[in-house]
Amino acid sequence: MEGVLNIDKPDGWTSHDVVAKLRTLLKIRRIGHTGTLDPAATGVLLCCIGKATRVAEYLVGYEKEYEAVLRLGETTDTQDRTGTTLKRWDVTSITEERLRSVLNQFIGDTLQTPPMYSAIKINGIALHKLARTGHTVPRPARPIHIRNIDVAQIHGTDVTLNVTCSKGTYIRTLCADIGHALGIGAHLGKLARLRIGSFELGNALRLDEVQELLSQNKLSSALHNTDEVLQDFPAVDVIEPIATRVRHGQGIRAEDVAEKLGAGGAGMLVRIRQLRAGLLALGRLSFPLEELGRQGDTRMAISIEKVLV
């Protein structure tokens, strides 16, 4: 059994808890997830099973979408509702117009300082372990991209936001930063991940549904194969004997591409497939995808990054 399962992570479970449960259900050790969710968060958690774990690193980079409740007027030490309250403010002076104006300041490329309560390691020690001992250490800010922030609902001091962002974005830190920009403090009250790339919450399986499908011997119908989960990357098709060379890690000349799909520039990751046989490997373009497939062009066009068969 191999492929990717789109799981709806339940409230109160760690991402590792979900992986451990799947290992027990499927009786497979080789399972991992792509993109940790905090225990109090719910929603899409992609779990790679068997050989699909080899592509997990590429799924981590997919764009993500969240529904987050921004709780105004209160800061906590963890930046979310699970922490200890540090300070409270009166929020009556904050208008919706002021709120929307501040939210717009966070759209685009920006730098974000990771929270102390996170799994990031400094000198080999996870930050959350240092935080629980009362220590705070300097953390380098990291580049993130927030494509969109929409206000879905305002109910008292709770503001429901829809956030579309890049990998590495801490939504609770975003909430704390928004509160700081408003001058009243804020924290994350609730979080649900709605989407990772093309994988949506509406198509995610609860763990009990996984168990039910397994008992009916139908779980394979819910598994997404590696070619499918990497569909955001352009693909090139090859035939023999080029396919055999790819299996041995050899690069591909421009003229050896049998068929090309999509477009992409130099350095972009591409799927390499054998016609009617499926995904063989992942590679990197040496020059634009549009230049591939030209007869007599012997330039090395694609270097092999990872063989998957």
Helix (H, G, I), strand (E, B) or coil at 270: strand
Strand partners, 43: 9, 193
Angle between helices 207-215 and 15-26 (to 10 degrees): 10
- The token pair at 158 is 């709770």
Residue 90: active-site member: no
Closest CA to 102 of 12, 211, 182: 182
- In DSSP terms, 270 is beta-bridged to 283
Strands 64-72 and 158-165: antiparallel
Catalytic residue among 8, 38, 177, 256: 38
Q: Find the helix or strand (DSSP H, E) in which 43 lies.
A: strand 42-49
Rounded distance between C-alpha atoms, residue 140 and residue 113, angstroms = 6
DSSP secondary structure code for residue 300 in this structure = E
Q: How far is CA 31 from the centre of its chain?
A: 16
- Smallest CA-to-CA distance from 209 within 41, 3, 6 is with 6
SS3 content of the chain, % helix, strand, coil (to 5): 25, 35, 35
For 36, counting Cβ atoms within 10 Å of its Cβ (0-12 exposed, 13-18 middle, 19+ buried), the class is middle
Q: Identify whether the C-beta of residue 195 lies closer than 8 Å to the C-beta of residue 77.
A: no
- Which one, of 103, 94, 245, lies nearest residue 174 by Cα? 103
CB atoms within 10 A of CB 90: 8
Separation CA 53–CA 100 (nearest Å): 40
Residues belonging to the active site: 38
